[in-house]
Chains A and B, each alone.
Chain A
Amino acid sequence: MELYIDRLTKQYKNKIAVDRVSLRLGSGVHGLLGANGAGKTTLMRMICGILRPDSGTVSFDGMDVSQEDYRAILGYLPQDFGYYPDFTGMDFLMYMASLKGLRKKDARYRSRELLSLVGLEGREKNRIKTYSGGMKQRLGIAQALLNRPKLLVLDEPTAGLDPKERVRFRDLIDRIGRENVVLLSTHIVSDVEQIADRILMIRDGRLIFDGSADEVRGNLEEFYLEQFDERRDDIEEKRNGEDEMHHV
C-alpha cells in the first residue's frame, strides 16, 4: 500500500504553490506541517484529484488519481465545506454514502456506526445548521470514513475541536493509520507531534523536511519555528553573502 507522488507542481499566475514535490507514503499517519500559504491545501487537493497539477503524477498502488478506482478508496476532509440547507446529520452522511457508491442498507449501518464514533449519536436528526463548529467538523470526519478509505486525506482536521474531541480524534486516526495511509495537514505543531509517525514540512511549495519527530531531537516546535523564522533566514543569507565576499 503506497501513495506515490512524483514531481508534483502547481503554479498560480506568478506564484508557484507546489514546487516539484516527490513522495512515497506507506501505511501510517503522515503529518504535513506548514505555515498558512505554504502550499499544504494545494498539495492535498492535487492528491485528491480536485486540482489538476501543472506537471507530475499522483498514484496509489498503481491507480492514477483520475481513475474512479482511486476515488473509491479515497477519504477526504476539506479545510472548509458546505452542506445543503435542509440536510440533517444523517441526511448528509447518507447523501455522501450514495456518492461513494454505498448501498442504502450499508450506508445506514455505516452512518450510524460513524455518528457514534464521532460522538454525534442522538443528534443525527438535527439540521446541520444547528450544529456547532466542532460538531460540523466531526461530521466531516465521519463522511471521510464512510467508504473505509485506504487513503485518508485530512486538511486541518483538528480545527474547531475541543481538547476532549482532539484526544478522541487522535485515537481514531492512530487506529486507522495502522492499516491505511493517512495524510493530515495542520499548522499546529502539537497536533502533528502526537499523531504523526512521519512529519513532512512544506514551505513556499517545497518540501523542506521529511522525517520523524525523533530526528529533530524531540523538540519539533522549536525546529518548526526555526524553519519558518524569516529573520533567521535573512541573517543566514547575509552571513552567506559575507562569507562569499571574504572568499572573493
Chain B
Amino acid sequence: MKKNDLHLQEELLRIYRIPPSREKTAFFRSRRWRSAYEKAFLSPEAAPGISFPEFLRIQAGYIRLRNWFFSLGLFLAVLLFSAENIRAAGIDSRQFLGALSACIPYLALTTIAEGSRSARFGMDELEMHTRFSIHSVICARLFLAGALNLIVLTALIPFLCTAWGTGPAVTSGILLAPYLLTCTLDLMILRRSRNRNSITLCAAAGTGVSAGCLVLSAAGPAVYGVLSHAALPAVFLLGAAAALELRKYLRQSEESIWNYTSTV
C-alpha cells in the first residue's frame, strides 16, 4: 500500500508542475495576512501563554552545559576509579573518599552560580517585573541544577558502599556534608554581596571547604572514627542551615535592596 502511495506521489510530481508564486511577498506584507496571523496565533484567546512545567523546560535550556558535564563527569570519574584493578593498585578507601569529598564543594558551587546569575549580571530588575518573576527563575535554576546533583550523589552512595566497603552513614556524610556546607556559605555570601565578584568569594569559600575535606581525610584513624559518628547529625544540621539560607535568599530576591545613593 505504502509502495503504491509512493509511486502515485512520484507520478503526480512528474505530471503536475507547481506554478510560480505570484504576489507572495505582497500578500505576506498585507494587513489581511497580518491580522489573520495575529488572531490565530497572538491573540490572548489563541495563545494562553506557557505553563510552569513548560517554563521549567525552557529554563533548563538556559543552564550552562558545563554544569551538566561537571555532575556527569564526577559520576563517571567515581565509576572509573572504583574499578577493581585500580582499587587493587593500593588506593586506600579513606584517601579516595577524601579526594572525592574535596571535589563536592565545586559541584555545589556550580549550582549556586547558576542560581545567582541574574543578580551577578544585572538582569534581576528586568526579571522582577515579568509574569514568571525572579523568584520563579531562581527556584527553577536551583531546582534543575540541584536535582541533577542530588541524583548523582544519591546514586553514588550505595555504589561507594558496595565498591569501597564504607558504611552508608559515613558515605552520606562524606558526600552530602561538604555539599550542604558550601551551599550554606555561598548563599550567605550572595545575600550580602550582589555584584559580579560575589562568585569569586563563593569559589574561595568552596575551596576552603574542599581543603578542609582533604585535611580531615589525612587525619589519623581516631579523628576519622569520631567524624564518622558525627556524619549523619552534621548532614541534618547542615541541611537545615542550607534550607534556612535558601529561604532568606529567595525572600531577599523578591525585592531589590537598593542603595539609596545610586538610585532614587
A79 nearest CB neighbor, chain B only: B263
Bound-complex Cα distance A12 to B262 (A): 12
Task: Tell me whether B67 is interfacial, beta carbon within 8 Å.
Answer: no
Contact check, B129 vs A98: say whether CB atoms are below 8 A apart. Answer: no
**1/0 contact trace for B5-29 toward A, CB 8 Å?**
0000000000000000000000000
Partner among A82, A83, A101 whose Cβ is within 8 Å of the Cβ of B132: A101
Q: Shortest beta-carbon distance, B118 to chain A, in Å?
A: 9
Contact check, A82 vs B263: say whether CB atoms are below 8 A apart. Answer: no
Contact check, B255 vs A95: say whether CB atoms are below 8 A apart. Answer: no
Task: Tell me whether B80 is interfacial, beta carbon within 8 Å.
Answer: no
Partner among B37, B47, B125, B258 whose Cβ is within 8 Å of the Cβ of A102: B47
Q: Shortest beta-carbon distance, B214 to chain A, in Å?
A: 33
Chain A residues positioned under 8 Å from B89 (CB to CB): none
Task: Tell me whether B69 is interfacial, beta carbon within 8 Å.
Answer: no
Task: Tell me whether B42 is interfacial, beta carbon within 8 Å.
Answer: yes
Contact check, A95 vs B132: say whether CB atoms are below 8 A apart. Answer: no
Bound-complex Cα distance A76 to B129 (A): 7
Task: Tell me whether A170 is interfacial, beta carbon within 8 Å.
Answer: no
Bound-complex Cα distance A96 to B130 (A): 8
Contact check, A98 vs B58: say whether CB atoms are below 8 A apart. Answer: yes
A140 nearest CB neighbor, chain B only: B126
How many contacts A-B (CB < 8 Å)? 100
Task: Tell me whether A138 is interfacial, beta carbon within 8 Å.
Answer: no
Q: Shortest beta-carbon distance, B57 to chain A, in Å?
A: 10
A18 nearest CB neighbor, chain B only: B264
Q: Shortest beta-carbon distance, A193 to chain B, in Å?
A: 24
Partner among A37, A51, A68, A76 whose Cβ is within 8 Å of the Cβ of B258: A51
Q: Which residues of A, 64-82, contact B by the 8 Å Cβ criterion?
A: 68, 71-72, 74, 76, 78, 80-82
Contact check, B122 vs A101: say whether CB atoms are below 8 A apart. Answer: no
Q: Shortest beta-carbon distance, A87 to chain B, in Å?
A: 9
B42 nearest CB neighbor, chain A only: A106
Chain B residues positioned under 8 Å from A52 (CB to CB): 255
Task: Tell me whether B137 is interfacial, beta carbon within 8 Å.
Answer: yes
What are the 10 tightest A-B residue pairs by CB atom distance, in nearest-first order? A82-B122, A101-B49, A99-B130, A12-B260, A76-B129, A101-B131, A78-B125, A98-B58, A48-B129, A72-B131
19 contacts between A and B (CB under 8 A): A17-B264, A42-B263, A45-B258, A51-B255, A71-B133, A74-B129, A76-B129, A81-B122, A81-B126, A82-B122, A84-B123, A85-B121, A95-B62, A98-B58, A99-B127, A99-B132, A99-B137, A100-B131, A101-B50
